[in-house]
Copies of this chain bind each other. A is one copy, B any other.
């Protein structure tokens, strides 16, 4: 279990929203997945537990959870994926050649953030950035 139901309940309710069984199931479905989960996977998991949840609800819930920053999303090699948002954000290196997805600590972007703040007075909110390129293994060729 990657998420703590109580926290979520609180964070949802203190904004005037409601914690429904559908939302719980969808949160669970995202947690159970291996890091990044697609819409189809979420639907599959949700329906396995409670068959009668409408897809429209899943679409709306994912958008809702994203807006509340309880879930983070990204497009990785053409697929839109979802993931439970953790305390400290992380990012990814994605290889254009072999598709490998590596994680990158948020600290890697702090210099960039600092500079943007200094030079542009722009306060970055970098969460779940996807950086494409060619990984070590795919190295010299194919580039």
Contacts and interface: CB of A to CB of B under 8 A. Distances in A.
A122 B93 contact: yes
Interface in A94-128: 95-96, 102, 104, 108-109, 111-112, 115-116, 120-126
Contacts of A124: 93, 131-133
Interface stretch (A36-44, A81-89, A134-142): A134-142
A21 interface: no
A59 B115 CA distance: 38
Copies in the complex: 2
Contacts of A112: 108-109, 111-112
Interface residues of A, number: 28
Closest A-B pairs by Cβ, 10 of them: A121-B136, A124-B133, A123-B134, A125-B133, A123-B133, A93-B122, A122-B133, A125-B132, A112-B112, A122-B135
Interface of A: 75, 93, 95-96, 102, 104, 108-109, 111-112, 115-116, 120-126, 129, 131-136, 139, 143
